[in-house]
Structure 1
């Protein structure tokens, strides 16, 4: 049986002078998500070269269902609630699934 994973790109623009805070929160959340064992595999943080306040979080999940459960969890709400204070505008995400 082929195991398919789902990748999610989360796009953020951070308010000026909050870049290090955002990066720190990202690394804390990755650690917590791995400990929760909810289908989260890993994530990478990318910073846009020509606009250093724009970020992409590229995450890997065991399934679309595991990602959807996370975004409806209290942990996700708590993180996004806090994040609103350091973000410009609304973040958005795109979901990618490997074709086999």
Structure 2
């Protein structure tokens, strides 16, 4: 299992749009990517235009397949219209001890 954190700052006035788009993307992932497990959207308490999407994936290959897909590229292109600056993401792998 891997977890990916996506960090975004949304342009002012686009917060609701971003949140609604998140719901649509998660629905799509559940239907189209069997290795996608779940995603949760968090809003920064002190900076309400900053968001974290915490996602869970079966494995790194499934995540890589998604980020190389047309659907991901379309989402990124759309995001450029409502995201401020360049978003970042970090991939973490569960450690079994």
Identify the TM-score tier after normalising by the shorter chain.
over 0.9
Q: Distance in 2 between matches of 1:68 and 1:91?
A: 17
Residue 38 of structure 1: how far off its partner (Å)? 4.0
Residue 40 of structure 1 corresponds to: 36
Q: Which contiguous aligned blocks of 4+ residues in structure 1 show a shift greater than 4 angstroms?
A: none
Q: For this pair of structures, how many residues does the alignment match?
A: 96
Residue 78 of structure 2 corresponds to: 82
- TM-score, normalised with respect to structure 1: 0.94
Residue 80 of structure 1: how far off its partner (Å)? 0.7
- TM-score, normalised with respect to structure 2: 0.97
- Structure 1 position 26 matched with structure 2 position 27: no
Q: Distance in 2 between matches of 1:52 and 1:58?
A: 16
Unmatched 5+ stretches in structure 2: none
